[in-house]
Structure 1
Amino acid sequence: MMHKPVRLFSRLRRQRFQLGVSLVELLVGILIGLVATLAISNLFSGFEARKRTIAGGADAQSSGVLAMYYMQRDAQNAGYGLPLYNSTDPSPLLCPIDTSINQGGVVINLSPVLIVDGGTGNDIVRIRYGNPASGGASLRATGTMTAPTLDGRLIGCQENDIVLFHQTPSNPNCSLGRLQKLNADRTINTLSEINTVPTASPVSILNGADWVRFSCLGAWNQYEYTVNPGLELTRSGGTPGANPFPSSAAVPVASDIVALQAQYGITTTIDPTSGSATASAYLNRVDQWVDATGTFGPTMALMDRNRIRAIRIAVVARDGNLQRNIVSQACDGAAAGVSRVCIWQADAAPANVDLTSVANWQRYRYRSFEATIPLRNIIWNRDAL
């Protein structure tokens, strides 16, 4: 009987030592928990990085598509309102290149598109077109310029429309003016601003001895696209409401646009049957893409302007998410695993785009968007050149 308490004490002591975990077991458990926590954190971090990449890519896609939509829409209208003529009538593209009118302080000529080269920076694209209800129809005019006699009624013309006087093909002098007031029977009451910017040889309509074409261009507007310091593509110009050009402010139309580049598409091939190098002798196609410099810069000649058949536009959109490491490089860069930023990607040698003005530019991702737009009015008027 004396052995029973001893055995009971021994069992209780063994049970006491078996309760809980040892220090080694505790450390092993903590280590497993830390590994699991680290794995879960890395998993969430990876998901978050992929989500930012996808969201940033979607933002860049939206911005680039929106930017191209606005510019392509306007460029497709470039030159609308300029009258179309057959081979025996004068073409507005034969007017002296300085045939212009002052629209609220901005001198605008008849060139459907003008690119201002930005050098290593961003280009500026200016697109011009009217909105006549007549679609560019013209009337024959005689008499005096300030009070011409027309061979029809001004259907589709409105007060304050810009009008074009254009003499015969053999004497293609031109003037722009403003239809200030119409009579109730749709005849001219008052014309103003004739030859506000004189051409090389101002037009004078002689009584019965000469005749010109008279056309309403509507509100001959200029729409300008540029990238502002806030990396927004802006559009300005036009006639918002009752306000004349260019009172409209530069309106941002797309954000995170870091580059805007544009080029003229010109023809260099002369029709072998023409035998001369006049504007009408060039074939109706694009042979070369050129910057708005040199021959196609600010002092561009009329014949060279009429060799332009199209323009192409490139915009580069940024995803907006600053990355930890370098993820982008110039188009001619050689770093492995780093995306190249290129424009004119269909060319044999795509071009660099200078983004050095953007802080930490290599730590952002980019998407390039391009569009080629034929200039319809120049193409349609080719036979009259």
Structure 2
Amino acid sequence: MPMKEQESSTKRRASGFSLPELLVSMALALIALLVIGSVVLTNDRFQRATIGTSDAQTTGSLALYAIERDARMAGYGLANSNALGCSPIQYYYSAGGAGCGAECYSRPANAASALPDLGFAPVVIENGAAGAPDAVTFAFANPRGRVIPGTLKEDMSQPSAELRMEEITGFGVNELIVAFQPGVGCALMQVTQIQGASAQRLLHDAGGGIPYNPDADSSLFPTFTKGALVFNLGRPIVRRYDVANAQLRIVDYFSYASPTALPTFNTGAEVLYDQIVDLQAEYGKDTDNDQVVDTWDNVTPAPGSADWLQILAIRVGVLARSRDEARPEGGACRATTVLPAWEGGDFALPGGVPSCFKYRVFETVIPLRNMIWRES
């Protein structure tokens, strides 16, 4: 081969890809990137949907379980036909013991009290305005011994006077009790001493380390007379559930540092579960006294009303939301296009529908067994 032809061939081989070859290669690479990107985006969308649904399933189930657990115990030691619905319970709380003024009294003694109202009832539903989430409070006694109420055998001479009982079996020192009498109301006290034998007295003295009893000289508590009932709450459980900022919260009014410690009165809410956007509840009422629920509503009976005896169950609906929004397809949210519903009606969604979030509904009917088996 001549030298010139050999040099020309060598140059062509050393020049690399031609322009058409480069363009074809770039086109193939771009197509591959588009395919890979589409696969990644599709996978991410399905992953978000799967994880979001799983999160809603888990948190919704746990939220409903927590509420149901307390609902099943509601009314234990409280479901007495005579005292049921007494509200508000008169109580006093001072972390340092006696020596506090009117600010340490609840209503009705202090009409401007910042302390929450507590009722002598197994469950109280606070209906949210205009479809807003409800709040539900459950209460039950937790005594070491006695469950049935005792009876005063003599009048109290003053609010701080000892309680002279027919008998005192089952009451314990440092347990909380509630005295009740029609026309007088109900008051919470802390037992500080028990005098047995022939005395049969429960003392509720004031002093340091006794946060629930006011000073004797300035007590605003009512005075009870012979025949008043005295309920042994022991270490009571009173819990309020509500929803705020897409979180299920709980207020444990009586919190315990240890199994033997006195309860600390607490009004601070703690977050139980995130992504819970609604809580709705209704009473199940037996309006014709045949032991069968025939009416469901969220109307709380008036304090002391006989209508409290009609409440035999509650039904609860919880709405859980996915953690992440589903990315809009074509610019429109289609994850939820109709309002989620439960047996009591439609839930109200933050922002309405359509929504980019996915929702799961959890609901149940809970018999209030302590109301069904209550003492007449």
Same fold (TM over 0.5): yes
Q: Are the structure 2 counterparts of residues 151 and 102 from structure 1 closer, same or farther at C-alpha, using a change threshold of 3 Å?
A: closer
Aligned to 2:298: 291
1:372 aligned onto 2:365: yes
CA deviations on 1:258-311 (whole Å, 9 max, x unpaired) are 11111111124x3xxxxxxxxxxx12222232123xxx46x3662322111111
Q: 1:127 offset after TM fit, Å? A: 1.2
Question: 1:334-349 counterparts in 2 under 5 A?
Answer: 338-344=336-342, 347=343
Q: Partner letter of residue 204 of structure 1?
A: T
Aligned to 1:312: 315
Q: Are the structure 2 counterparts of residues 377 and 189 from structure 1 closer, same or farther at C-alpha, using a change threshold of 3 Å?
A: closer
Aligned to 2:89: 100
Q: 1:216 offset after TM fit, Å? A: 1.1
Q: Secondary structure, in 3 states, of the residue corresponding to 1:354? A: coil
Question: 1:19-34 counterparts in 2 under 5 A?
Answer: 20-34=16-30
Question: 1:269-280 counterparts in 2 under 5 A?
Answer: 270=288
Aligned to 1:273: none
Aligned to 1:257: 276
Aligned to 1:137: 148
1:188 aligned onto 2:170: no
Contact 1:95-1:172 within 8 A present in 2 as well: no
Q: Are the structure 2 counterparts of residues 174 and 376 from structure 1 closer, same or farther at C-alpha, using a change threshold of 3 Å?
A: farther
Q: 1:113 offset after TM fit, Å? A: 0.6
Q: Partner letter of residue 342 of structure 1?
A: P
Contact 1:144-1:204 within 8 A present in 2 as well: yes
Q: 1:245 offset after TM fit, Å? A: 5.8
Q: 1:32 offset after TM fit, Å? A: 1.1
CA deviations on 1:303-331 (whole Å, 9 max, x unpaired) are 3221111111222122221333289x9xx
> TM-score scaled to structure 2, two decimals?
0.73
Q: Secondary structure, in 3 states, of the residue corresponding to 1:260? A: strand
CA distance in 1, matches of 2:262, 2:47: 45
Q: Are the structure 2 counterparts of residues 9 and 303 from structure 1 closer, same or farther at C-alpha, using a change threshold of 3 Å?
A: same
Q: Secondary structure, in 3 states, of the residue corresponding to 1:101? A: coil
Contact 2:137-2:238 within 8 A present in 1 as well: yes
CA distance in 2, matches of 1:326, 1:29: 32
CA distance in 2, matches of 1:24, 1:127: 78
Q: Which among 50, 55, 74 is matched to residue 54 of structure 1?
A: 50
Which region of structure 1 is more displaced relative to structure 2, 371-380 or 242-251?
242-251
Q: Are the structure 2 counterparts of residues 177 and 23 from structure 1 closer, same or farther at C-alpha, using a change threshold of 3 Å?
A: closer
| % identical equivalent positions | 25
Question: 1:1-385 counterparts in 2 under 5 A?
Answer: 5=2, 10=5, 13=8, 17=12, 20-82=16-78, 91-93=80-82, 95=84, 97-98=86-87, 100-102=89-91, 104=93, 105=106, 106-119=116-129, 120-134=131-145, 136-139=147-150, 141-145=152-156, 146-165=161-180, 175-183=186-194, 185=196, 187-191=200-204, 204-205=225-226, 211=227, 213-228=229-244, 230-236=245-251, 237-241=253-257, 246-268=265-287, 270=288, 282-292=289-299, 296=300, 299=302, 302-325=305-328, 338-344=336-342, 347=343, 351-356=345-350, 362-381=355-374, 384=376
Contact 2:74-2:138 within 8 A present in 1 as well: yes
Q: Secondary structure, in 3 states, of the residue corresponding to 1:66? A: helix
CA deviations on 1:114-168 (whole Å, 9 max, x unpaired) are 11111221111111112112251344542334545445443253324113456xx
Q: Secondary structure, in 3 states, of the residue corresponding to 1:159? A: coil
CA distance in 1, matches of 2:63, 2:220: 35
Q: Secondary structure, in 3 states, of the residue corresponding to 1:368? A: strand
Which sections of structure 1, spanning at least 5 residues, go unmatched?
Answer: 84-90, 206-210, 271-281, 330-334
Aligned to 2:210: none
CA distance in 1, matches of 2:30, 2:146: 75
CA distance in 2, matches of 1:314, 1:214: 36
Q: Secondary structure, in 3 states, of the residue corresponding to 1:55? A: helix
Aligned residues between the structures: 331
Q: Partner letter of residue 365 of structure 2?
A: T
Q: Are the structure 2 counterparts of residues 323 and 122 from structure 1 closer, same or farther at C-alpha, using a change threshold of 3 Å?
A: same
Q: Secondary structure, in 3 states, of the residue corresponding to 1:371? A: strand
> TM-score scaled to structure 1, two decimals?
0.72
Q: 1:36 offset after TM fit, Å? A: 1.1
Q: 1:243 offset after TM fit, Å? A: 6.7
Q: 1:64 offset after TM fit, Å? A: 1.7
CA distance in 2, matches of 1:161, 1:95: 18
Q: Partner letter of residue 52 of structure 2?
A: G
CA deviations on 1:157-187 (whole Å, 9 max, x unpaired) are 3324113456xxxx89874442432236595
> Of the two, which has the highest radius of gyration?
1
Which sections of structure 2, spanning at least 5 residues, go unmatched?
Answer: 94-105, 107-115, 206-212
